[in-house]
Copies of this chain bind each other. A is one copy, B any other.
Amino acid sequence: MNLNDLLNHRSEWLKGTGPHSDIVISSRIRLARNLASAPFPHWSNKKQGRDVLDAIEQAVGKINYLKGTTIFELADLDSLDKQFLVERHLMSYGHAHKTNSKAVVIDNEEIVSLMVNEEDHIRLQVMQSGFNLFEAWNIINRIDDCLAKELSFAFSLDYGYLTACPTNTGTGMRGSVMLHLPALVIIGQIKQVLNAISKLSFTTRGLYGEGTEATGNFFQVSNQVSLGHSETEIIENINGLIRQIIEQENQARETLMSKNKSVVEDKISRSFGILKNAHIISSQETTELLSMVRLGISLGLIKEIDSSSVNELFIITQPAHLQKLENKKLSSQERDVKRAEIIRDKLNKQ
Q: Which residues of A contact B (CB under 8 A)?
A: 262-263, 265-266, 269-270, 272-281, 337, 340
Q: Which residues of B contact A263 (CB under 8 A)?
A: 280
Question: Among B270, B280, B281, B340, which residue has its beta carbon within 8 angstroms of that of A277?
Answer: B270
Contacts of A275 in B (CB 8 A): 273
Residues of B within 8 A of A337 (CB): 262
Contact of A269 among B265, B269, B272, B279 (CB under 8 A): B279
Docked-complex contact A278 and B269, CB < 8 angstroms: yes
Closest-CB distance, A264 to chain B (whole angstroms): 9
Q: How many copies does the complex hold?
A: 2
* Cα–Cα distance between A340 and B266 once the two chains are bound (Å): 9
When the two chains form their complex, are residues B279 and A262 in contact, meaning their CB atoms are under 8 A apart?
yes
**CB-defined contacts of A280 to chain B, threshold 8 Å:** 262-263, 266
Besides A269-B278, A269-B279, 11 more A-B contacts (Cβ < 8 Å) are A262-B280, A263-B280, A265-B279, A266-B279, A266-B340, A269-B277, A270-B277, A270-B279, A272-B277, A273-B273, A274-B277
Contacts of A340 in B (CB 8 A): 266
Which 3 A-B residue pairings sit nearest by Cβ, starting from the closest? Answer: A273-B277, A266-B279, A273-B273
CB distance from A175 to the nearest CB of B (A): 39
23 A-B pairs within 8 Å (CB atoms) are namely A262-B279, A262-B280, A263-B280, A266-B278, A266-B279, A266-B280, A266-B281, A266-B340, A269-B278, A269-B279, A270-B274, A270-B277, A270-B278, A270-B279, A272-B277, A273-B273, A273-B274, A273-B275, A273-B276, A273-B277, A273-B278, A274-B274, A274-B277
Q: Give Cα distance in the complex from A280 to B262, angstroms.
A: 7
How far does the alpha carbon of A278 sit from the alpha carbon of B264 in the complex, in Å? 11
In the docked arrangement, what's the CA distance between A279 and B273, Å? 11
> Nearest Cβ distance between residue A344 and chain B, in whole angstroms?
9
Q: Which residues of B contact A265 (CB under 8 A)?
A: 279
Q: List residues of chain B with CB within 8 A of the CB of A270.
A: 274, 277-279
Distance between Cα atoms of A71 and B281 in the complex (Å):
54
Q: Which residues on B sit within 8 Å (CB–CB) of A269?
A: 277-279
Look across to chain B and name the residue whose beta carbon is closest to the beta carbon of A281.
Answer: B266
A17 to B326, CA, bound (A): 44
A270 CA / B280 CA spacing, docked (Å): 10
Question: Measured between alpha carbons, how far is A340 from B277 in the docked complex, in Å?
Answer: 18
Q: How far is the CA of A281 from the CA of B278 in the complex (A)?
A: 19
Cβ-closest chain B residue relative to A334: B262
How close is A286's CB to chain B, nearest CB, in angstroms?
13
